[in-house]
C-alpha cells in the first residue's frame, strides 16, 4: 500500500480567500457570520450567514468562463488553483492521466436553477439560458477543473450532504493508497445562500435565529444553541503519493492515514451516534493505531441540539475514558456551516492545527450543555502538540465520514 500525503491546499471563505488569512482568523476566533441586508430575506426567520464579500473570480478565470459557470464552480476552481500553486505544481509535474479530481457539493448550482426558473416564469421558455444545465449540475466543478488543468484521471462529484468533502478526500486517499492515481484534488464547494434554501432550513427549525447577534449565533455545545448558520466557499486539498512527492521535492503538509465511512440507516435528519462512532473507529483501524494516540478532533458540531449531543456520545464511545483528555474544537462556531464544502475547509484547519501545534477555539461556548461534557477548547485557542487528528463530517440521510490526519514524519 502507498503512503498518502498532502502537498497543497486552497480555501475560499468568509474568513479569507487564502489559507494564511483564513487560518489567522480561525486561530484568533474571529467569526465570519454577518447579518444579510438583502430585502429578499426580510420575511425569513433566519437572516444571518457567513457570506463572502470580496471574491474576485477574474483573478482565476476569464470573463467568458465566469459567465458560463455557477458561483460554486468558481469557488471550487479558485481553491483548486491555490492548492496547485501551494503544491508547486507546474504543467509537467504529473502524468496527467494519473491525476484525479474528487470535488463535491451539497446543493450544486441551485442559484442558477432559481434564476432561470424566475426567467422561465416571467419571460417564457425561450429565455432560459442554454448554459443552465451545465452550470447547475453538481459535477461541473470537477469537470471544469479537469478541462482547465488537463488532468485526465478519475473525476467525479460525491454528494452526501455535509459529509461530502470528507467522502471526497477519503475516496481520494484510497485511490492513491491502492495505486490507481498519483495525485487527486479533493474537497468541496458550496454557494447556497439564497432565500429558498433559507426558507427550507428555517422552516425545519434547523438554523439559528439569533439575528440580533450574528457573531454569537453559531454556538456548538452551548446550552443556548439554536441551530447552524449557513456559509459558502470551498476547501480543496492536493493529495499525493508519498514517493512521488519526495521525488519532486514537494513540501509535505501532512499525511492522511485513515478513513471511515458509514451510514446510520436510521432517520433522514436525526443522527444515531453509532454511525459516527463506527466511522471514527474504522479510520483508526485503517491506520492501525490505538484511540489513545489521537490528540485532537475537529468536530462536525454544527450547533444543533441533537447533533452536538450525538457526536459527543460517539466520541465517548470510541475513546472511552481518554475522551476527556482529547482536545476538541467546533470551528463551525467561527466559519458557519459550509455544507458540502465544510469538510474541505476543516481539513485545512486540521492540517494547520497540526503544523502550528495550536487547537482552534470553539467560540461562543459560555453556558456549557451538561450533556456535552468534553474539552471543546472554549473561546480561546490552546497550544497543544498534535500527532494524530480526526476530522468528522456527518450529513442528512445518515452519512458519516471521518478522516485521520497525521503530522508528517519521514
One domain, residues 238 and 263: no
Q: For the whole prediction, is pTM greater than 0.85?
A: yes
The Cβ-side half-sphere exposure at 281, using a 13 Å CA radius, reads: 14
One domain, residues 345 and 390: yes
Number of compact structural domains in the chain = 2
Q: Classify residue 100: in a domain, yes or no.
A: yes
One domain, residues 198 and 298: no
Grid cell listed for 149: 488543468
Domain edge (last residue) among 218, 247, 276: 247
Mean pLDDT calculated for residue range 29-48? 97
One domain, residues 279 and 213: no
Q: Cell match 479533493: residue?
A: 186
Residue 380 CA to residue 295 CA, distance in Å, equals: 17
Task: Name the strand (E) or helix (H) holding 241.
Answer: strand 233-241
Nearest C-alpha neighbor of 244 from the set 53, 94, 105, 91: 94
One domain, residues 117 and 165: yes
Report the percent of the chain where pLDDT is more than 90: 100
Mean pLDDT calculated for residue range 354-368? 98
One domain, residues 241 and 263: no
Using pLDDT thresholds of 50, 70 and 90, give the confidence band for residue 410.
confident
Q: Distance of CA 365 to CAs 225, 322, 392, Å?
A: 9, 22, 20
Residue 189 CA to residue 303 CA, distance in Å, equals: 21
Using pLDDT thresholds of 50, 70 and 90, give the confidence band for residue 247.
very high
Mean pLDDT calculated for residue range 24-44? 97
For 198-230, the pLDDT digits (tens) are 999 999 999 999 999 999 999 999 999 999 999
Q: How far apart are the first and last CA of the chain?
A: 16
Angle formed by the axes of helices 71-86 and 140-149, nearest 10°: 40
Judged on CB neighbours under 10 Å (0-12, 13-18, 19+), 102 is: buried
Between the CA atoms of 380, 383, 387 and 393, what dihedral angle is there, to the nearest 10 degrees? 10
Cα angle 272, 274, 276 (rounded to 5 degrees) comes to 85
Question: Residues 340, 190: contact at Cβ < 8 Å?
Answer: yes
Q: Classify residue 168: in a domain, yes or no.
A: yes
Mean pLDDT calculated for residue range 324-353? 98
Tell me, rounded to whole angstroms, the distance of Cα 243 from its chain centroid. 27
One domain, residues 183 and 266: no
Grid cell listed for 40: 429578499
Q: What is the pLDDT of residue 232?
A: 98
Domain edge (last residue) among 184, 215, 247: 247
Alpha-helical regions (H) of 357-404:
none
DSSP secondary-structure letter at 362? Answer: B
Q: What is the pLDDT of residue 267?
A: 96
Mean per-residue pLDDT of the chain? 97
One domain, residues 25 and 117: yes
Q: Classify residue 253: in a domain, yes or no.
A: no
Q: Looking at residue 63, which CATH number applies to its domain?
A: 3.40.47.10
Domain edge (last residue) among 247, 274, 307: 247
One domain, residues 175 and 309: no
One domain, residues 68 and 182: yes
Q: What is the pLDDT of residue 63?
A: 97
One domain, residues 231 and 306: no
Give strand pairing partners of 234: 12, 189
Which domain, by its residues, includes 293?
Answer: 258-406
One domain, residues 234 and 104: yes
Mean pLDDT calculated for residue range 172-196? 98
Angle formed by the axes of helices 195-203 and 110-123, nearest 10°: 110
Residue 349 pLDDT more than 90?
A: yes
Q: Classify residue 222: in a domain, yes or no.
A: yes
For 274-283, the pLDDT digits (tens) are 999 999 999 9
For 55-88, the pLDDT digits (tens) are 999 999 999 999 999 999 999 999 999 999 999 9
Q: Which residues are catalytic?
A: 162
Q: Classify residue 319: in a domain, yes or no.
A: yes
Amino acid at each position: 500500500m502507498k503512503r498518502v500525503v498532502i502537498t497543497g491546499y486552497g480555501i475560499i471563505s468568509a474568513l479569507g480567500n487564502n489559507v494564511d488569512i483564513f487560518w489567522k482568523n480561525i486561530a484568533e476566533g474571529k467569526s465570519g457570520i454577518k447579518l444579510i441586508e438583502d430585502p429578499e430575506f426580510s420575511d425569513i426567520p433566519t437572516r444571518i450567514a457567513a457570506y463572502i464579500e470580496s471574491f474576485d473570480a477574474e483573478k482565476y478565470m476569464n470573463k467568458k468562463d465566469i459567465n458560463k459557470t455557477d458561483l460554486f464552480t468558481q469557488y471550487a476552481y479558485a481553491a483548486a488553483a491555490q492548492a496547485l500553486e501551494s503544491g508547486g505544481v507546474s504543467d509537467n509535474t504529473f502524468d496527467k492521466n494519473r491525476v484525479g479530481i474528487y470535488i463535491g457539493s451539497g446543493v450544486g448550482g441551485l442559484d442558477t436553477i432559481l434564476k432561470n426558473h424566475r426567467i422561465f416564469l416571467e419571460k417564457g421558455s425561450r429565455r432560459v439560458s442554454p448554459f443552465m444545465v451545465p452550470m447547475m449540475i453538481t459535477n461541473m466543478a470537477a469537470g471544469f477543473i479537469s478541462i482547465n488543468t488537463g488532468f485526465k484521471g478519475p473525476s467525479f462529484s460525491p454528494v452526501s450532504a455535509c459529509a461530502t468533502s470528507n467522502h471526497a478526500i477519503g475516496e481520494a486517499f484510497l485511490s492513491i493508497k491502492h495505486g490507481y492515481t498519483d495525485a487527486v484534488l479533493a474537497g468541496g464547494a458550496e454557494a447556497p445562500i439564497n432565500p429558498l434554501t433559507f426558507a427550507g432550513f428555517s422552516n425545519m427549525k434547523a438554523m439559528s435565529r439569533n439575528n440580533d447577534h450574528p457573531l454569537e449565533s453559531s454556538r456548538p455545545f452551548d446550552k443556548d444553541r439554536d441551530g447552524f448558520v449557513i456559509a459558502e466557499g470551498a476547501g480543496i486539498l492536493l493529495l499525493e503519493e508519498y514517493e512521488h512527492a519526495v521525488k519532486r521535492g514537494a513540501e509535505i503538509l501532512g499525511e492522511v492515514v485513515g478513513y471511515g465511512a458509514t451510514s446510520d440507516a436510521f432517520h433522514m435528519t436525526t443522527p444515531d451516534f453509532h454511525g459516527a462512532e463506527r466511522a471514527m473507529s474504522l479510520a483508526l483501524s485503517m491506520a492501525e493505531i490505538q484511540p489513545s494516540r489521537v490528540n485532537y478532533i475537529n468536530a462536525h458540531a454544527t450547533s444543533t441540539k441533537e447533533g452536538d449531543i450525538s457526536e459527543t456520545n460517539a466520541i465517548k464511545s470510541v475513546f472511552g475514558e481518554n475522551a476527556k483528555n482529547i482536545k476538541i474544537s467546533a470551528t463551525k462556531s467561527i466559519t458557519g456551516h459550509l455544507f458540502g464544502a465544510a469538510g474541505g475547509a476543516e481539513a485545512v484547519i486540521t492540517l494547520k492545527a497540526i503544523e502550528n501545534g495550536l487547537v482552534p477555539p470553539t467560540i461562543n461556548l459560555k453556558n456549557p450543555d451538561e450533556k456535552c461534557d468534553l474539552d471543546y477548547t472554549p473561546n480561546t485557542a490552546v497550544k497543544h502538540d498534535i500527532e494524530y487528528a480526526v476530522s468528522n463530517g456527518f450529513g442528512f440521510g445518515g452519512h458519516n465520514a471521518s478522516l485521520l490526519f497525521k503530522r508528517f514524519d519521514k
